[in-house]
Chains A and B, each alone.
Chain A
């Protein structure tokens, strides 16, 4: 463990969360476990509603989004090159440094 927060989250209103330890899993579950409750994820994390839209910056390379995720992202007004669906991003066991910003509601 280092002193550097491994996950830095910025909410829609500018509030921030620093998460320095988390179990490997989907970014959505990590955010929820950390108490970031402004993500609706109405479909329950099944890549079907795009209400877990986030912007992700990372020093490490994340796997590219798959076809289903890309198609969902293409429906969003606030899509940018950093757009990801939190339910589709798998994060390793604390090794990655991520900066995540919650995207605006559609």
Chain B
């Protein structure tokens, strides 16, 4: 076995990637033009996995786990650390209850706790609430208006849905929506001190509101929250910040930790799907004619424009593969979005093809750590589109182009102007 020599690998920047969607497309065309290199490295000499087969192989390997909270924020858990809270503290406070910082044996019961709330069947039962929110949001848009589909539609539907589900008032929904917008800074490739200050404030307020939501839910005997509380009580696993993770201390902590993606990233899924369908008018027209094809259309749209470009994983144990070994303790950047653009898995990867075989998608990750909230994100996107169709609202590109956030690990639109026209109703 030969140790994988990460430092000698080509850098991401050699292939033009510094973060952000436009960069990413150019990167994919360049890096997939040849079968080598197999791996890349970050500027900090962390391994970058980007080919579809490797993403699935690494993603499903038990040796490759989530990055534990104690490895993300080492100063936080040092004995004798200063009681002063350094910048970024509030982010860690929330993220430490997120399933993406858990590894076995905590990961399994925590994952089942989330799926018991947000599994396909459970999310299906939430669709009417989402439809009600989407109906109101889309119903507000006037004929002939130009709107930003990111803020006016995608974020409004997503934040409105979670806020209603979690007993937040209209005023609180506005506040938590602003927090979710501020969370965008979390994914900047180079976070500044100012970013950390804004993030700390946003995360603290967001966590406060979700703690409040959990109290209201438990007081009203919300079955989902009672179930989360019961399951939390059953988890008897000692805290281990450096590998296993920290058991969430309350239902509010579970909600806050695990709905960052709900409030923030689910809106990206909705906006990015709209972007792809507007960019492929024949696909949008076909889906309008045959709404039963919508789930496949959303899957294909999110293959093309997945919300997440890259996330980090961590080698919990030495990982042996193909005569090589990646030693334990290495951080690994998993370029999930690149897996969807690997032509060996998806021929002509930039072409929208609703009929293409879909196994091998890496939109929501791969392996035991695949996003457990993905059903909610897809449901919200589907309901939003169905409501556009039901209200006979036509969406067209506006004069100004959509803008993607640069230097970012998310595939995120900052603004997406669109013109709206409504069919004349005979009533």
Contact = CB atoms under 8 A, between A and B. Distances in A.
Contact of A68 (B108, B119, B295, B367): B108
Given A37-B357, A48-B111, A43 B121 contact: no
A43 B116 contact: no
| Chain B contact residues, majority secondary structure | helix
Nearest to A71: B112
Contact of A76 (B59, B119, B370): B119
B60 A77 contact: no
A79 interface: yes
Given A44-B368, A46-B368, A72 B115 contact: yes
B interface bracket (residues with beta carbon within 8 Å of A): 20 to 34
Interface in A4-51: 37-40, 42-46, 48-50
A48 B368 contact: yes
B221 interface: no
A106 interface: yes
Contacts, number: 63
A interface bracket (residues with beta carbon within 8 Å of B): 20 to 34
B366 interface: yes
A43 B56 CA distance: 9
A50 B122 CA distance: 14
Given A44-B60, A76-B119, A105-B295, A49 B112 contact: no
Which 8 A-B pairs rank lowest in CB-CB distance, beginning with the nearest? A75-B119, A44-B60, A106-B120, A48-B368, A46-B368, A77-B121, A75-B115, A43-B368
Interface of A: 37-40, 42-46, 48-50, 68, 71-72, 74-77, 79, 105-106
17 contacts: A39-B359, A40-B359, A40-B361, A42-B364, A42-B370, A43-B60, A46-B368, A48-B367, A48-B370, A50-B120, A68-B108, A68-B112, A71-B112, A72-B115, A76-B121, A77-B121, A106-B120
Given A71-B116, A74-B116, A77-B120, 20 more contacts: A37-B357, A40-B361, A42-B366, A43-B366, A43-B367, A43-B368, A44-B60, A44-B366, A48-B111, A48-B368, A49-B370, A50-B119, A50-B120, A68-B108, A71-B115, A72-B115, A75-B115, A75-B116, A79-B121, A106-B375
